[in-house]
Amino acid sequence: MKKITLILTFLLIGNTVFCQTITGKIVDIDNNPIPYVTLQIGPNYGVITNEEGVFTLETDNFSDSDNVSISCLGYKSLEFQLSTFTKPTYVLEDSISELSEVFITNKLLSIEEILENVRANISKNYPVNDNQRIFMRESSNFNIKDFDFEVSKSSNFNRATIKDINKNFETMSQLMVNNNSKFYEDTLLDLLHIADSTQSQIIKATKLVNIEKDLSTDAVNGKLIKSVLNVLDSSATYKLKTSIFTIEDSLKVGKIIKEDSDSKKGKTTVINNKVSRIIRNNSLVENSNLDFIFEDKGYEYSIDGISYLNDEATYSISFNPTKRSAKYTGKMYVNTSDFAVVKLEYEFAENRTGSKMNLKFLAGFKFEENAYRSTVIFKKNENAVYDLYFISQENGNYVYINRSLKFIRNNTAEHTDKQQLKLKFMIEQDYIAKSELFFINKGSLQGDSAFKITNEYPISYISKYDSSIWKDYSVLSPVQEIINYQTN
């Protein structure tokens, strides 16, 4: 019996050695952090470093004899037994060659031939969309450039009430203008592809935000409306108009106040549409952002050299726009054997912008996407085809809104006197929105029949980042700014 107990004790000790979390950093030979490096244990578990080169590995269910592989395009790969994977930092050496060193006997293809082969092999290299589990991190930065608000007209409100409203918003304006606010949202979801559409099941979501200092468009609008609702009759309904348009015929004030108290929920359709749009923008399909692959006549290209990923050679190709209609500058990396695009790095070229709408004088609205940057990584799977592995997409936007809102109480047997409140407000705002998508699993996640679609999902509002929330999942490590973020 003692012998059996001793053996069991030994086995338990051996198993607990690697039931732990390992955090480290990947750098180059000059000690610069390397973002988006893949660390893999076995065929089904892997993580990717964040933009600061930091990773977090959960080693539960792995033994000390399992291997950890480290790989990144342009660097020599490394491999360690888990039992020796204990350093806080690992250094990757460059793995880049001149074209002449690689194509000594093989024909060096022209840019046109390479792109023709890329397009010809898309259906072979990239599978039809399947179900995907995705971890998404959203980082948002808002800056209020200008803000103005006043009650311009009222009836059946005493002057003291109106004076207090205007005074409160004058104070709010002083606190908001030329100030910044940030927040971070982490969401784990399953994305189900059905024909040409998608549906999402949200598994878990958190939001790290200082609610009192939140300057997002939704938050500012919410503060405006809430302040006005506090002086309206909560038992009545109101017609809500902007300019000559009626937004709502029977706005229930009491219902809105109640919904606001239970607002820590997200709309599933919003997340689903956002994720689907980011994926489509960065996929090798027609009408995506990747016109430099499909409409190459508007760009000039150059082959900069050869990079390696897991001993496979890839062309490093730079591109810049030559026509006004072409927007992007950047690099693409193309496998020299199967002509799969394995990585993309691109952004708006100088003096280029994205979507825009200027109705400033007609409808008091202006919007412009003035910055865009994206990194896309594809990963070859066991079937020698490429899956989306990681997307980082960053947008810079400008918004101007100058509107009037009018609340008119609907007459009833109890409310026969006319009550109305007219507001004028103007907000000018810059904001940067960054979305990072890490594709954890692909294929049949839990079967279509078990896929639960809900209109809303709960969001856990947290006061500081808590890694234990994501203990059981492969997620992006937080950057230092998130770790340091405090909501109080």
Contact 56, 48 (CB under 8 A): no
Distances (CA, A) of 47 to 129, 388, 445: 21, 14, 18
SS3 444: coil
* Amino acid code (one letter) for 172: M
Would you call 269 helix, strand, or coil by DSSP? Answer: helix
What pLDDT does residue 101 have? 55
What is the model's pLDDT at position 448?
53
Tokens of 370: 């003035």
- Report how far residue 476's alpha carbon sits from residue 187's, in angstroms, rounded to the nearest whole number: 11
- Give the containing element (helix H, strand E) for 29: none
**CB neighbours of 232 closer than 8 A, spacing ≥ 6?**
238, 253, 407, 409, 421
Which pLDDT score is estimated for 2?
45
Long-range contacts of 318-326 (CB under 8 A, 24+ apart): 319/292, 319/346, 320/349, 321/349, 321/352, 322/298, 323/297, 323/298, 325/298, 326/291, 326/292, 326/295, 326/298, 326/299
Place of tokens 């820590």: 264
Q: Are strands 237-242 and 386-409 parallel, antiparallel or unpaired?
A: antiparallel
What's residue 292's pLDDT?
Answer: 96
Asked if 406 and 425 touch (Cβ cutoff 8 Å), the reply is no
Q: Please state, in angstroms and rounded to a whole number, the distance separating the CA atoms of residues 274 and 323.
A: 29
pLDDT of residue 476: 95
**Residues whose CB falls within 8 Å of the CB of residue 46, separated by 6 or more in sequence, listed in order:** 38, 39, 40, 474
Instruction: For residues 122 and 284, give the distance between their C-alpha atoms in angstroms, rounded to a whole number.
Output: 7
The structure tokens 């508007």 sit at: 298
pLDDT attached to residue 205: 97
Q: Is 376 in contact with 350 (CB distance < 8 Å)?
A: no
Going by C-alpha positions, the residue among 365, 355, 359 that lies closest to residue 401 is 365
Alpha-carbon span 360 to 368, nearest angstrom: 12
DSSP structural state of residue 144: E
Q: How many residues does the chain have?
A: 488
Tokens of 198: 């998608």
**What's the burial of 64, exposed, middle or buried (CB within 10 Å: 0-12/13-18/19+)?**
middle
pTM of the model: 0.88
Residue 7 CA, distance from chain mean position: 49
> From CA 284, how far away is CA 289, in angstroms rounded?
9
Euclidean distance between CA atoms 35 and 46, whole angstroms: 15
Structure tokens at 39: 């660390």
Residue 92 DSSP label = -
Give pLDDT < 50 ranges for the chain.
Answer: 1-17, 104-105, 261-262, 447
- Helix, strand or coil, per DSSP, at residue 307: strand
Q: How far apart are the first and last CA of the chain?
A: 57
What are the tokens at 329?
């500058």
Which backbone phi and psi does 26 adopt, to 5 degrees?
-110, 125
C-alpha gyration radius of the chain: 27
Return d(Cα 211, Cα 183) in angstroms, integer. 9
Element (H, E) at 170: helix 159-176
Torsion sign (Cα): 253, 259, 263, 267: negative
DSSP state of 33: B
